[in-house]
Structure 1
Amino acid sequence: MRATLVFTLTFGLTSAVPFLWNGERQDHDRINVQLGPRPYFVVNDMDEGPLKKKLQSCSEGPFHTTDFTFGHRGAPLQFPEHTEESYRAAARMGAGVIECDVTFTKDKQLVCRHSQCDLHTTTNILVIPELAKKCTKPFVPADPVKGTPASATCCTSDITLAEFKTLCGKMDASVPTATNATQYIGGTPPFRTDLYSTCGTLMTHKEYIRLIDSFGLKFTPEAKTPTVKMPYLDWTQEQFAQSIIDDYKTAGISPSRVFPQSFLIDDIYYWIKHEPQFGKQAVALDEQVDTPEGYRNSTAQLPMLAKNGVKIVAPAFFALVKLDAQNRIIPSEYSIAAKKAGLDIISWSFERSGFLNHGGDYYYQYVAPVINNDGDMYTVLDVLAKQVGIRALFSDWPATVTYYANCMDL
């Protein structure tokens, strides 16, 4: 069951009592934000120019929590995602808003996982025999003769909440050539680390709310699209979406501190209609932009979203920028259309690309010809902040965005 060595960090969070402002908690300043060396490494790697000089001028801070920084799954560049340790790291690095991707267990309890069916790559479930046998698709080793990779599918809906809480969180990774389960759950990419992956503490949605509330920070729960067919045990998609909001209402959290998200537009419309105080900050995640046709369709649909009450859209940040004829990074057609429609933009996900010395990856696809070092990520961020005018940016390592936001007074 649960490993005997449990990794729990406090990150020095103070025990000061938060004060109230207009009836709401306002205690960002209780966290002594510490950014570590990475932002300095990225700044020093930048091409020479005014932006680099400006960022260098801010090297000694002071640094403080900012709502421009959204902790994407916490701080999963180095900590197992959606674990207590990852959330604490994000808070320490100045993320004003921290994410819980919300899915559910077999007994319909809400938990924080990026996908309903990712336990085989984000936890140690495959090396716990009594739970591994409950997986939707138990582990199958790689077969070099047939040329088939190792595989498994383990879902939160395969196990109860009590069973879920016995698992250890690990870095999201797997080894396709593995011949046994222990090998399979390895494979952490070289730009990440297993240093803090001894046994990440998995979180329920309610535990996440209590933790983030204790920091005085804000919340962004994402209603993950269920893998199981809905209704699930007579539980509808609408009831799932409502249950997320109910947890905040029960905890006495002001709607102004919550940014509910979903890729399913019907979830957004549900919140706008049935929970308007939460719905006005609902974030319509947009993955249509992944294809050229989808990008065009999504751009064209932005006025309709605004007309239907959507206030915030959130595509991957590659969709917000492009290159002009002089190879300068500028706002994209999507960015211009969103602003014209009166929509705020929150984008994702910074620090998820690994090394940028070969043009970046998915997140830099429209500007790849001018991306050749890690420092170029700040050049892109500067355009997103100043020209596109994004409201906030999700990051796998919040310190990098917090450094920029503090330097630019965002």
Structure 2
Amino acid sequence: MALSRCQSWPGHQSPAKLNIQVGDRPYYLLDDMDEGPLKQKLQSCSEGPFKPSDFVFSHRGAALQFPEHTLEGLVAARRQGAGVIECDVAFTKDKQLVCRHAQCDLHTTTNILNQTDLASKCTTPFTPASEGKPASAKCCTSDITLAEFKTLCGKMDGFNPNATTVEEYMDGTPYFRTDLYSTCGTLMTHNEYIDKVDSWGLQFTPELKTPEVAMPFDGYTQEQYAQDMINAYKSRNIDPKRVWPQSFLPADIYYWIKNEPAFGKQAVFLDERVDTPEGYANATASIPDLAARGVKVLAPAFFALTKLDDAGKIVPSEYALAAKKAGMEIVAWSFERSGWLKNGGEYYYQYVSKAIHKDGDMYTVLDVLAQQVGIKGIFSDWPATATYYANCFGLGK
């Protein structure tokens, strides 16, 4: 039976005692590590047992191998021990909340371009590559209704910029991922996500996605959008301590702190200012002001939390030290998004790239983040990798 009918899949069921499984990947990474105390410690934990940990934030489900923000991906993340499950929240044309990484990513994460009746509703229709210009399309949740959204299938995020047909365009899965489980991922509404995660007894981290349409959208304001996301938890009597609302927009964080303080105290400011040297410096300098305004949780890309010292050793960065000095909690993103690390790891390892030579170095970086930076948790595209580490060191609960 197709995976899109996850209701009939045994992995969807909720046994009284879930057997957490980390699979082969952590052991592959361990074998690839340099010899030393960290490797020995991690090897000593090889037989578990493993349990869920709220140190482990599921990033888009289990997006390394499953289509992101699908029920199948969430089921895999739960099985791998993620204690906190993410739903990136966007809105449809009829102002209903759904799980998507971006408001306008349907053309790369679903089969919308193959659904001719819905493809015609996309903001920008498919245009083939021609005369040196890449293929393009733009399909947004706000282009379609909730009912139409629910007819789509999730696929692995990716596209082929050299495509001359829709089929070629959709065939762009990155080399380090797989289409093996991309048969027809079951898309989820925000409400469905809440009900499922609640039934598992896990924690929530919904991210209010920055709109890619002008706001207000048909009278729908940013403030109402932010409030609607929180209202979904309040209407179900979800304990705010189980919810970690996120946003890249400071205004959203401040809104929750002021208007929904029980949720706002755990609001996670996703800090993308660190992407440039000037932005990194300004972000570091602004941390005391953020703390003074009530922001208690910072979440930068994890490259911003480490650097190399004069001896070439990986150590906490100035940003990390400033955040801890201000009493901030830190949640880092996103583990397992880099593919092979043999060339330095690129974006997520850019400040320590000279010390990154192979995949096993992932655990070296995670160890610095956990033991020296003192992060509360880390988002991962393959939660099992972080679950193994968290269980070995007794992190989370």
Q: TM-score range by the shorter chain?
A: over 0.9
Match among 60, 72, 75 for residue 73 of structure 1: 60
Counterpart of 1:66, as a letter, is S
1:32 Cα deviation (Å)?
Answer: 1.5
The amino acid that maps onto 1:200 is: G
Q: Which residue of 1 aligns with 2:366?
A: 381
2:178 is matched with which residue? 193
- The answer to whether the aligner puts 1:356 opposite 2:341 as a matched pair is yes
Q: Does 1:227 align with 2:212?
A: yes
1:317 aligns with 2:302: yes
Across the aligned residues of Structure 1 and Structure 2, the Cα RMSD in angstroms comes to 1.2
Q: What CA deviation, in whole Å up to 9, does each residue of 1:97-146 have, x standing for no partner?
A: 01000000000000000000000000000011110010000000111xx2
Q: 1:142 aligned to 2:140? A: no
Amino acid in the other structure paired with 2:14: T
Residue type matched to 1:308 in 2? R
Question: Which whole-Å CA distance do the structure 2 matches of 1:34 and 1:337 have between them?
Answer: 36
Deviation at 1:6, TM superposition (A): 2.7
Q: Which aligned pairs between 1:273-288 and structure 2 lie closer than 5 A?
A: 273-288=258-273
- Structure 1 gap ranges (5+): 17-29
- Contact 1:10–1:88 at 8 Å: present in 2 too? no
Query: Letter of the aligned partner of 1:332 in structure 2?
Result: S
Q: Which residue pairs with 1:14 in the alignment?
A: 14
Distance 2:101 2:351 in 1: 26
Q: Does 1:45 align with 2:32?
A: yes
SS at match of 2:237: coil
Q: Give the counterpart letter for 1:89 in structure 2.
A: A
* CA offset digits 1:230-258 (Å, max 9, x no partner): 11111110000000000001112110100
In structure 2, do the counterparts of structure 1 residues 12 and 225 end up closer, same or farther at CA, with 3 Å as the change threshold?
closer
Asked whether the 8 Å contact 1:31–1:65 carries over to 2, the reply is no
Output the CA distance in 2 between the equivalents of 1:400 and 1:343. 25
For residues 187 and 319 of structure 2, the distance between their equivalents in structure 1, rounded to whole angstroms, comes to: 37
Partner amino acid, structure 2, of 1:6: S
AA of the residue aligned to 1:40: Y
C-alpha deviation, 1:11, in angstroms: 2.0
Contact 2:3-2:72 within 8 A present in 1 as well: no
Q: Does 1:104 align with 2:67?
A: no
Secondary structure, counterpart of 1:11 in structure 2: helix
SS state at 1:245 partner: helix
State the SS of the aligned residue for 1:380: helix
> Alignment partner for residue 93 of structure 1, among 61, 80, 88?
80
Native 8 Å contact 2:3 2:185 kept in 1? no
Give 1:13 deviation, angstroms. 4.3
- How much has 1:7 moved relative to structure 2? 5.1
CA contact (8 A) 2:12 2:75 kept: no
Could you tell me how far apart the structure 2 residues matched to 1:43 and 1:11 are? 27
- In 2: Cα distance, 1:12 partner to 1:56 partner: 31
CA contact (8 A) 1:31 1:215 kept: no
Deviations 1:312-349 (A, max 9, x none): 00000000000001100000000000011110100100
* Residue 52 of structure 1: how far off its partner (Å): 0.4
Over 3 Å off, 4+ runs? 12-16
What amino acid sits opposite 1:263 in the alignment?
A: F
1:5 is displaced (CA, Å) by 7.1
CA distance in 1, matches of 2:383, 2:215: 35
Structure 2 unaligned residues grouped into runs of 5+: none
Alpha-carbon distance in structure 1 between the residues aligned to 2:2 and 2:123 = 27
Q: Does 1:402 align with 2:387?
A: yes
Matches within 5 A, 1:199-278: 199-278=184-263
Instruction: Give the TM-score of the pair, scaled to structure 1.
Output: 0.94
Deviation at 1:295, TM superposition (A): 0.2
Seq. identity, %: 68
Distance in 2, matches of 1:81 and 1:12, equals 16
Letter in 1 for 2:115: I
Tell me if 1:130 matches 2:117: yes
Match in the other structure for 1:165: 150
Whole-angstrom distance in 1 between the partners of 2:40 and 2:12? 32
Q: In structure 2, what residue type is equivalent to 1:71?
A: S
CA–CA distance in structure 2, aligned partners of residues 5 and 268 of structure 1? 37
Equivalents in 2 of 1:180, 1:163: separation in Å? 23
CA distance in 2, matches of 1:203, 1:177: 30
Report the Cα distance in structure 2 between the residues aligned to 1:183 and 1:214, rounded to whole angstroms.
Answer: 39
Deviation sequence 1:249-275 (CA, Å, 0-9, x none) = 111211010000000001000001100
Deviations 1:158-205 (A, max 9, x none): 000000000000000001111111111111112100010000000000
1:254-307 superposed Cα distances (whole Å, 9 cap, x missing partner): 101000000000100000110000000000110000000000000000000100
CA contact 1:395–1:401 (8 Å) conserved in 2: yes
Q: Cα distance 1:382–1:5, how it changes in 2: closer, same or farther (>3 A)?
A: closer
Query: Secondary structure of 1:134's partner?
Result: coil
